[in-house]
Structure 1
């Protein structure tokens, strides 16, 4: 996989992702794969390079395993959080205290089309008189203890997905990768991450989708899968893998989410007691409008007359045939425009020739 890694950033670098610092060589060492492709790349890719996220060999890359992992990522996170609770209960019993965890997470797509999570997990204490209250954790529990419990939970969590004929009648092993866990303490003394940075990161990731991969689609159907599932491209093979695996009853959701390479989870999820709920925020907004907001100037005697009602009909072209007709008409219009320009240029050239002849 073509990648860009900057091991040492410049002193004035403020953008750790997408910066202009000198990157290391992509793949200086490699071999020739069974398909005859040289698995080496001596380039130092820049941010935004079109090769980033592309496999060195399309035939060697396991596209089916990637879309299945995207499909199972929400379930893997659910099991991981349950395991975190178990580890915290063990830690609490060992020190004679009760612990609670609260979290908020958002997902982000990597350039290669794999989803990964950014999560903020907070350790709280427990007040038996008010279980929903947010109280500081006991002093007996240190940051390192909390990190170790979370790390153990992530390492332990693994399971096998539903069986599929494409994998020899077996399921896929679903677990977190050996390089996929990066734990940092927030607001720790001497730490490099603070809460303001985390809030900014979460706000940034919420606004992102699959555009980082270079492809943004709406739902794929029977008519458009042949157009988008191009086997000559990496992303096209991911879409085709979703469609082919989706024939199995246990993997039908892969077809529904083929435009997101199999991932169908929510953009962000959080514990109910992590912060203010959306219902509480709406209630506060309503109270403010009724007490301090500007009063409306509606006249009770004013009559409301509905002239016309507009409703949502559709987005884009319904079928690929409609899109083909529209693109053909646009191409013909451009061709007529260019032909007119050529004819005008020829006419002007002839006029210049006649003028020169008369002058002679």
Structure 2
């Protein structure tokens, strides 16, 4: 009987963690997905994460009375921290002569975003901006809602080649108060924040920004695809994987990592002793993707209230139904299935303790 129970547990773990490269066994013996968002570490979990958020993005565009709203795609970038190489992307794009004196081609892609003079580049400023980018977005969100109370958003934070975050956000505003794209862009750009770590340091967006209106029944699907593609990109490792990358690329990444290691992540942070992951993420503490939440007075981004918690519950219910169908009416009741959200709750403890996999 015990052997059968163990076999059943292993089988259940295999169903829940199917495709996961590193399923985790918690202290209570429950098997869960690793939950990694990095493709190179677990393509299955990263793809599940991307698909979940893509579904939430679609829900806020297509699942409600879309004719009552206007939609915008807003892009905000970081300020300059020094001159970088200008390299065109594939497709015949031409960017002109670079500040280094060379007109690069697409074959020089490895140099895209690499500083021309690393000694003069503000690495400390860049990682500090990444650290405070979440605070800046919060101030931006407040600034926009002060003017348009019905505003809801879905935001993806993407890494630029130089190793700094920029923002793509779908904005939804009720038609009766909807602004022009230019007015919305200028309102977002006018937002600033004061760093809570480096007293008196002003945090603001870069000059490059764009805001385009789109129709849900026109370019809605294309816009969702664009954000999904951006999300697919940020699920990759930030570091360059190619062994053929120019030496300047590696120097740039080492300098960024060193600056993040030296940076304070909080007022009382002692960088040499701090284990916060911010020091390993080029300063970034923000979530890759998020959406406005439903409250008593707001619909939130998703018209139907779709969240990742709801998606996990629906998957769990589907699993339970499938297990009941396979077991039949005469089979003994199965123990509760592993809950995916247990991985998120216990990941820090497991990392410190180490885990095993079937």
TM-score by length of 2: 0.56
- The alignment status of 1:274 with 2:301, answered yes or no, reads yes
**What is the CA-CA distance between 1:23 and the residue it aligns to?**
2.1
**What is the CA-CA distance between 1:236 and the residue it aligns to?**
0.8
Q: 1:72 is matched with which residue?
A: 132
**What is the CA-CA distance between 1:61 and the residue it aligns to?**
0.4
Q: 1:199 aligns with which of 204, 221, 224?
A: 224
Could you tell me which runs of 5 or more consecutive residues in structure 1 were left unpaired when the two chains were aligned. Answer: 6-17, 31-39, 89-98, 125-136, 165-169, 217-229, 306-310, 319-360
Q: 2:279 is matched with which residue?
A: 258
Identify, as 1 or 2, the structure richer in strand.
2
Q: 2:326 is matched with which residue?
A: 297
Local SS of the residue matching 1:49: helix
Structure 2: how far apart are the matches of 1:303 and 1:283?
A: 20
Judged with a 3 Å threshold, the aligned counterparts in structure 2 of structure 1 residues 232 and 171 are, in CA distance, closer, same or farther, namely farther
Local SS of the residue matching 2:167: strand
Q: 1:176 aligns with which of 205, 222, 228?
A: 205
- The alignment status of 1:105 with 2:160, answered yes or no, reads no
Q: 2:47 is matched with which residue?
A: none
- The alignment status of 1:2 with 2:85, answered yes or no, reads yes
Structure 2: how far apart are the matches of 1:155 and 1:282?
A: 36
Query: Higher relative CO (CA 8 A, sep ≥ 6), structure 1 or 2?
Result: 2
Judged with a 3 Å threshold, the aligned counterparts in structure 2 of structure 1 residues 200 and 50 are, in CA distance, closer, same or farther, namely same
Structure 1: how far apart are the matches of 2:222 and 2:95?
A: 27
Judged with a 3 Å threshold, the aligned counterparts in structure 2 of structure 1 residues 257 and 286 are, in CA distance, closer, same or farther, namely closer
Aligned length: 239
Q: 2:256 aligns with which of 221, 233, 238?
A: 238
Q: Deviations over 1:164-188 (max 9, x none)?
A: 4xxxxx5432101111x11011128
Task: Give the aligned CA root-mean-square deviation in angstroms.
Answer: 3.9
Q: Please say if residues 128 and 283 of structure 2, whose CA atoms lie closer than 8 Å, have aligned partners that are also in contact.
A: yes
TM-score by length of 1: 0.56
Q: Please say if residues 87 and 150 of structure 1, whose CA atoms lie closer than 8 Å, have aligned partners that are also in contact.
A: no
Q: 2:189 is matched with which residue?
A: 155
Q: Please say if residues 87 and 149 of structure 1, whose CA atoms lie closer than 8 Å, have aligned partners that are also in contact.
A: no
Judged with a 3 Å threshold, the aligned counterparts in structure 2 of structure 1 residues 250 and 176 are, in CA distance, closer, same or farther, namely farther
Could you tell me which runs of 5 or more consecutive residues in structure 2 were left unpaired when the two chains were aligned. Answer: 1-83, 242-247, 294-299, 336-342
Q: 2:31 is matched with which residue?
A: none
Structure 2: how far apart are the matches of 1:240 and 1:71?
A: 14
Q: Please say if residues 261 and 280 of structure 2, whose CA atoms lie closer than 8 Å, have aligned partners that are also in contact.
A: no
Judged with a 3 Å threshold, the aligned counterparts in structure 2 of structure 1 residues 213 and 23 are, in CA distance, closer, same or farther, namely farther
Structure 2: how far apart are the matches of 1:209 and 1:254?
A: 23
Q: 2:92 is matched with which residue?
A: 21
**What is the CA-CA distance between 1:158 and the residue it aligns to?**
1.2
